């Protein structure tokens, strides 16, 4: 209904626009031949980019910056990818699109959930985590609100292709080719669950973050194990569907032969398989789902160690919608071969868990970029007119993982590893420079190019445990002493004596009467006063290790968000200083003993901090007139290019003062 009202408003605005000469009843169709190319480079950092440009590593970026323009791009509040790309997609901030963080909370249960997922009521279907395959009438549901810019381009007949845009799973209905990106689950409905099979009695078996370590026996040089698929709701208790596989280990050589369904292949130690197709049987002949995965033989002897990637939705026969048109992902497979469909494809969790080492993770991360480049090389030459958007994840994930090897100040910096893998991140930047080189060859005076990132990057040296700080400062009361092994969010919290709590990477919520289940802070003046008090105190927090301010900015949602969802997110947005981030446990509602901790995770760079400290980049072949462009200016810029009036509720302004493409 809301969408329909918005459409109507748009149509009325349109009637008043003299530029369109068709009758109001018919949507005017764009007839031009102009082109707008947008390269979306997640996490490309202006400081690193300038450094690599100065070192001569990025000749195409240097050329573009010299001939066109290079600006900092104001990121979203908070500067997290799902929020930031939603700002770009809708031209609105979180108040307009409703994505505030990777993690949201239900004020009634006070339990966290991933912001891209929705828990469906139990239906007789196939559950992939929170999603339901539409066998039982349910379906995957997009949680981002607001209209995507390409839906409006479709309304005006501007052709467009949108590749791997984050926060677009399942992809919104579109006329062009679109492929979903960050937020797309694996076949188990998670954001990526690897499996690691080992007979090492010392391995810590069980569930680890992002994966499972599964004990196996080697008997007569053979291993029998199972691949774990989606939960099978057709069976009592909804156990996960499994498919057996066997591994025959050569008794002398470091080689193993793996058999799974119809696939038989040999891996040497240290070798990755191609994509392997697996079908999970749920109800025979009716409810089967297909996935793809890659095997890596880490060790054959003396201990057996086999890594299996998260089982990705098979793009040739997707269990959930991942593209428009529906068969487009399958067409891509025919052209380029199989590819990772899981939103965050780089297996950072396996590196953090110690299952893959730097070398092995790097091989995997390079495969991801190679696949993206293959798709780019197949699709970009087909682009003729309208809008072409392509997203690259590599700089973001690899800056997260390899910051510790480019920054000698980082507590996890390791000089030996740095000589081996310190060049990995600059080399990923150079690959993006090569992609830009391919694009620059095809620019003409009808083409506008935007190269942009959603945010920059910063070191993540120290964790700040916001909930522990709130506890120690009397804003949270526990029923009993915090249990460090407790992983359930806010276990033990006495809500009747708790005034505020932290959840997600930057969110701080008041325990507000009438909103939270046991809210006890009165809305209005008392809530305002409490927010002011917490803001002031947080800005005074110093790290005892070095007397540095841990928090440099605290924003009130009511002051920075506009739109219908402005009140659904956190009340305060905590902006950390460079070098700091909310700790791993506090973001999920737990209470580590110390307020500050060293970050020892290989995930050593981050950007979920004070948004003014991690701007993104915006480069163009045309002079950018805006001096401080923001992500929310990109959608208005796209519309201005094609003479489309800016829809109601959209913030921001075109970054160019004149439009190039005119309605003809
Ligand atoms: Zn990131």
pLDDT tens for residues 383-407? 999 999 999 999 999 999 999 999 9
Pairing of strands 458-464, 579-582: parallel
Centre of ligand 1 to C-alpha 81, Å, is: 6
Centre of ligand 1 to C-alpha 481, Å, is: 34
pLDDT at 137: 32
Centre of ligand 1 to C-alpha 392, Å, is: 12
Centre of ligand 1 to C-alpha 273, Å, is: 28
* Cα distance between residue 431 and residue 210, in whole Å: 27
* CA 491 from centroid of its chain's CA atoms: 28
Centre of ligand 1 to C-alpha 452, Å, is: 15
Q: Residues of 593-630 as b/e, b for ≥16 C-beta within 10 angstroms? A: eebbbebebbbbbbbbbbbebbbbbbbbbbebebeebb
Least-confidence region, from 120-129, 138-147, 425-434? 120-129
Give 364 or 11, the one with higher predicted confidence: 364
User: Given a cut of 80, is residue 620 above it in pLDDT?
Assistant: yes
| Phi, psi (rounded to 5 degrees) for 651 | -85, 180
Centre of ligand 1 to C-alpha 393, Å, is: 9
Q: Is 94 helix (H, G, I), strand (E, B) or coil?
A: helix
* Cα distance between residue 472 and residue 233, in whole Å: 44
Centre of ligand 1 to C-alpha 249, Å, is: 39
* Residues 73-94, mean pLDDT to the nearest whole number: 96
pLDDT tens for residues 561-585? 999 999 999 999 999 999 999 999 9
Centre of ligand 1 to C-alpha 42, Å, is: 7
| Residues whose CB is less than 8 angstroms from the CB of residue 199 and which lie 6 or more positions away in sequence, other chains included | 215, 216, 217, 218, 223, 303, 304
Centre of ligand 1 to C-alpha 411, Å, is: 20
* 44 token code pair: 């490309």
User: Given a cut of 80, is residue 322 above it in pLDDT?
Assistant: yes
Centre of ligand 1 to C-alpha 606, Å, is: 6
Centre of ligand 1 to C-alpha 507, Å, is: 17
pLDDT at 496: 96
Centre of ligand 1 to C-alpha 219, Å, is: 43
Centre of ligand 1 to C-alpha 80, Å, is: 7
Centre of ligand 1 to C-alpha 603, Å, is: 10
Centre of ligand 1 to C-alpha 222, Å, is: 40
Centre of ligand 1 to C-alpha 157, Å, is: 34
Centre of ligand 1 to C-alpha 396, Å, is: 5
Q: Is 333 helix (H, G, I), strand (E, B) or coil?
A: helix
Centre of ligand 1 to C-alpha 82, Å, is: 9
Q: What is the percentage of the chain residues whose pLDDT exceeds 90?
A: 79
- Alpha-helical runs (H) found in 36-111: 46-54, 59-67, 81-90, 94-97
pLDDT tens for residues 253-305? 999 999 999 999 999 999 999 999 999 987 666 678 899 999 999 999 999 99
pLDDT at 65: 98
Count other Cβ atoms within 10 Å, centred on residue 389.
23
Angle at 563 between CA 1 and CA 131, to 5 degrees: 60
Centre of ligand 1 to C-alpha 350, Å, is: 16
Centre of ligand 1 to C-alpha 151, Å, is: 26
Centre of ligand 1 to C-alpha 54, Å, is: 24
pLDDT tens for residues 485-506? 667 889 899 999 999 999 999 9
* Residues 323-333, mean pLDDT to the nearest whole number: 96
pLDDT at 143: 78
Centre of ligand 1 to C-alpha 446, Å, is: 34
* Cα distance between residue 550 and residue 542, in whole Å: 6
Centre of ligand 1 to C-alpha 395, Å, is: 9
Centre of ligand 1 to C-alpha 78, Å, is: 12
- What is the pTM (predicted TM-score) of this model? 0.92
CA torsion 210→412→358→616, rounded to 10°? 70
pLDDT at 127: 57
pLDDT tens for residues 429-484? 999 999 999 999 999 999 999 999 999 999 999 999 999 999 999 999 999 887 76
* CA 475 from centroid of its chain's CA atoms: 32
Length of the chain: 664
pLDDT tens for residues 204-254? 889 999 999 999 999 999 999 999 998 877 777 778 889 999 999 999 999
Centre of ligand 1 to C-alpha 648, Å, is: 30
pLDDT at 124: 47
Centre of ligand 1 to C-alpha 280, Å, is: 32
CB 275 within 8 A of CB 236: no
Centre of ligand 1 to C-alpha 554, Å, is: 21
CB 268 within 8 A of CB 221: no
pLDDT tens for residues 19-30? 333 334 456 789
Centre of ligand 1 to C-alpha 169, Å, is: 18
Centre of ligand 1 to C-alpha 5, Å, is: 35
User: Given a cut of 90, is residue 640 above it in pLDDT?
Assistant: yes
pLDDT at 19: 37
Question: In the predicted model, what is the mean pLDDT of the chain?
Answer: 90
SS (H, E, C) 74-92: ECCCCCCHHHHHHHHHHCC
Least-confidence region, from 87-91, 317-321, 418-422, 494-498? 317-321
């Amino acid at each position: 209904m809301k969408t329909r009202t918005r459409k109507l408003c748009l149509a009325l605005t349109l009637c008043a626009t003299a530029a369109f000469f068709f009758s109001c009843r018919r949507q005017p169709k764009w007839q031009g031949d102009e082109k707008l190319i947008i390269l979306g480079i997640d996490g490309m950092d202006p400081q690193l980019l300038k450094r690599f440009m100065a070192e001569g590593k990025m000749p195409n970026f240097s050329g573009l910056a010299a001939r066109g323009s290079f600006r900092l791009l104001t990121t979203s509040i908070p500067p997290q990818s799902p929020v930031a790309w939603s700002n770009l997609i809708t031209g609105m901030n979180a108040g307009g699109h409703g994505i505030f963080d990777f993690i949201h909370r239900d004020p009634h249960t006070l339990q966290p959930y991933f912001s891209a997922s929705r828990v469906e009521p139990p239906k007789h279907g196939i559950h992939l985590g929170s999603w339901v395959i539409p066998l039982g009438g349910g379906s995957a549901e997009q949680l981002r609100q607001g209209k995507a810019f390409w839906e409006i381009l479709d309304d005006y007949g501007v052709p467009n292709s949108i590749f791997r845009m984050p926060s677009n799973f399942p992809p919104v209905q579109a006329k062009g080719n679109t492929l979903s990106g960050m937020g797309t689950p694996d076949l188990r409905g998670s954001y990526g669950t690897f499996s690691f099979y080992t007979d090492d009695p010392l391995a810590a078996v069980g569930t680890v973050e992002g994966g499972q370590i599964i004990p196996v026996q080697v008997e007569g040089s053979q291993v029998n194990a199972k691949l774990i698929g989606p939960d099978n709701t057709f069976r009592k208790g909804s156990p996960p569907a499994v498919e057996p596989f066997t591994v025959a280990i050569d008794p002398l050589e470091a080689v193993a032969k793996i058999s799974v369904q119809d696939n038989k292949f040999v891996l040497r130690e240290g070798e990755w398989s191609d994509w392997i197709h697996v079908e999970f049987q749920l109800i025979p002949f009716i409810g089967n789902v297909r996935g793809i995965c890659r095997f890596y033989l880490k060790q054959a002897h003396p201990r057996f160690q086999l890594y299996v990637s998260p089982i990705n939705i098979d793009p040739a026969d997707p269990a959930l919608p991942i593209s428009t048109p529906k068969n487009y992902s399958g067409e891509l497979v025919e052209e380029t071969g199989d590819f990772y469909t899981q939103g965050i494809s780089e297996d950072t969790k396996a590196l953090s868990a110690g299952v893959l080492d730097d070398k092995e993770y790097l091989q995997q991360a390079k495969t991801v970029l190679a696949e993206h480049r293959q798709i780019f090389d197949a699709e970009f030459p087909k682009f003729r007119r309208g809008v072409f958007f392509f997203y690259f994840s590599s700089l973001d994930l690899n800056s997260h993982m390899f910051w510790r090897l480019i920054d000698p100040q980082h507590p996890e910096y390791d000089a030996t590893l740095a000589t081996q893998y310190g060049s990995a991140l600059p080399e990923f930047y150079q690959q993006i420079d090569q992609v830009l080189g391919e694009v620059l060859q095809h620019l003409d005076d009808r083409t506008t190019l935007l190269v942009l990132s959603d945010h920059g990057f910063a070191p993540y040296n120290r964790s700040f445990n916001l909930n522990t700080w709130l506890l120690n400062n009397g804003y949270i009361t526990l029923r009993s002493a915090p249990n460090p092994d407790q992983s359930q969010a806010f276990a033990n919290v006495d809500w009747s004596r708790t005034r505020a709590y932290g959840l997600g990477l930057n969110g701080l919520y008041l325990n507000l009467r009438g909103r939270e289940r046991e809210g006890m802070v009165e809305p209005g003046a008392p809530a305002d006063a409490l927010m002011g008090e917490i803001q002031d105190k947080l800005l005074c927090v110093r790290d005892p290790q070095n007397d540095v301010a841990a928090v440099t900015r605290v924003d009130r949602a009511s002051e920075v968000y506009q739109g219908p969802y402005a009140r659904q997110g956190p009340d305060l947005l905590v902006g950390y200083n460079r070098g700091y981030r909310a700790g791993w446990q506090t973001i999920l509602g737990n209470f580590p003993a110390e307020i500050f901790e060293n970050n020892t995770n290989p995930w050593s760079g981050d950007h979920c901090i004070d948004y003014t400290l991690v701007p993104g980049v915006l480069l163009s072949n045309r002079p950018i007139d805006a001096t401080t462009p923001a992500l929310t200016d990109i959608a208005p810029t796209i519309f201005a290019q094609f003479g489309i009036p800016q829809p109601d509720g959209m913030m921001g302004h075109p970054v160019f003062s004149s439009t190039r493409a005119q309605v003809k």
